[in-house]
Amino acid sequence: MSSPLPIKWWRSSTFWRSLLTNLTQLGLLLLLLWVLFFAYRWQQLTDIEHSLQDTVDEWQSLVQEEGVEALVDDLRWDGEALWRSQWLSEAIEEEHVIVRVVDEEDRTLAGYAELYAEEDGWNDGLLEQEGGWDGHPLRLLSEPIDDTGINIIGARLLPAELMAWQNVLQALSLLLAIFALPLAAIAAWWSSRVVLRRLQALSQAVSQVGDGQLQQRVELHGHGDEFDASAQAINDMLQRIQLLTRNLESVSVGAAHDLKTPVSNLAGRLQLMQRDIHNVDALQEHIERSHDHIDTLLKTLSALLRLGEVEAGRRRAAFQTVDMSALAEDLADSMSPLFEEADKHFQCDIAAQLQVRGDGDLLTQLLINLLENALEHSRDGAQVFLRLAVTGRCVCLDVGDDGPGIPESVGERIFERFHRLDHSRHSAGNGLGLALVKSIAELHDGHASLAASKPGAVFRIELPLLEEGNEPA
């Protein structure tokens, strides 16, 4: 398998997604600032318009009640009706309304003569003044007084801080337009560089595994991020693959070894049958022995098929409530005569009404395999026991004896397929019974183990206890 192709950062989806995300975030930030600014501007304009409307209404009332001369007198500044430029500055600083009163011939009667409105009603304009306020935005209201020919134009300057914020946002928008793309590209490059380096490590490890290096693992950086989580999941998967590969190799070798013996014996019997074709008694003996070898071969194949079916988990869908106490008592009654015939003492201690959720046939097979293993491999006169009790929230099943036990060097390997102790290789069996026990236990979310015991060997099965009120509908 070839090594993984390196990914160029500018071609990675991470870079482009990061770039788009960064630009979107900057754009949304700028949009939010402008929205807040326009909301603030709207509030300020509303306050200005209310103030202008009230002031202009008062002036209209004054004209209608006392005449235009009264309004002109009210608007005089230092005794003069027409405002000078320096007076305008004072009016602005004191937050007075800027005003211009004109007659029907557009002559200025009072106020600031350079104040113009393009049309009646609300207008936006710029202040014309020889001074510091020239060009400043205005909000204007122009309202004619009915049947008088008089028109009053009132105006207020937009707040200076409002204009300052507008200038700041305009400058910020310009800066973002110039620098946003490079800054977003740099941030996207940095983030994609980090991501690609971690992804490259994952890809490299998987590629090496594909080349047969099953011991290869992905390095964990200890950050606890999604990459470490992915790396841990990949490492767990690789560990499982390695174990499955070892099991497959072990199964292949074990199956070849265990199948070779009956096949070789069968081939030898066929040769003997050919030799003794005319000897009826000898031929009958060869046929009976051939049947024995075929039975051994079929039992091994059946055990392998049953083990594969259990490990595939297809029986889980048919799980139901199983009374382990009743199941154990029935099997104990059935197996007791066999232990007596083998001159072995069999004792039972079974707690009542212990239930689990599972497959009754498979759990029966599990217990039969354990009892047959004890019957076959315990010494003459051995004390064999079966115990069923509750430990915590588990149903604990122990099957053991008082014999020499199992060497510590073997340990949990006793549950591997085709694994047999040296002293049992000459007895009947195919080394699959305990492997099937472990697989059935794990199918039921349980655990099979070799319990610490001296003397003797004790096989312990722990299954989840089905408590009252937890039964499935």
Give me the CATH number covering residue 263: 1.10.287
Strand 345-350 vs strand 383-391: parallel, antiparallel, or unpaired? parallel
Q: Are residues 260 and 277 in the same domain?
A: yes
Residue 470 lies in a domain: no
pLDDT at 318: 74
Q: Are residues 383 and 240 in the same domain?
A: no
Q: Mean pLDDT of all residues in the chain?
A: 78
Q: Are residues 204 and 172 in the same domain?
A: yes
Q: Are residues 132 and 246 in the same domain?
A: no
Instruction: Give the end of a domain, one of 160, 192, 216.
Output: 216
Q: Are residues 190 and 285 in the same domain?
A: no
Token pair listed for 426: 């000459």
249-291 tens-digit pLDDT: 655 555 555 566 667 777 777 888 888 788 878 888 878 887 8
292-302 tens-digit pLDDT: 777 767 766 66
88-125 tens-digit pLDDT: 777 777 778 888 898 888 888 988 888 888 888 999 88
Instruction: Give the end of a domain, one of 311, 345, 373.
Output: 311
Of the chain, the percentage scoring pLDDT greater than 90 comes to 5
C-alpha dist (Å) from residue 191 to 12, 218, 227? 11, 21, 13
Boundaries of domain holding 273: 226-311
Grade residue 388 by pLDDT with cuts at 50, 70 and 90: very high
Give me the number of domains the chain comprises: 3
Q: State how far the Cα of 447 lies from the Cα of 338, in Å rounded to an integer.
A: 28
Grade residue 365 by pLDDT with cuts at 50, 70 and 90: confident
Grade residue 79 by pLDDT with cuts at 50, 70 and 90: confident
| Residue 463, C-beta contacts closer than 8 angstroms, at least 6 positions apart | 324, 356, 358, 394, 395, 397, 441, 444, 445, 446
Q: Are residues 431 and 357 in the same domain?
A: yes
pLDDT at 323: 92
pTM: 0.46
pLDDT at 173: 83
Q: State how far the Cα of 206 lies from the Cα of 209, in Å rounded to an integer.
A: 5
Token pair listed for 134: 């020239």
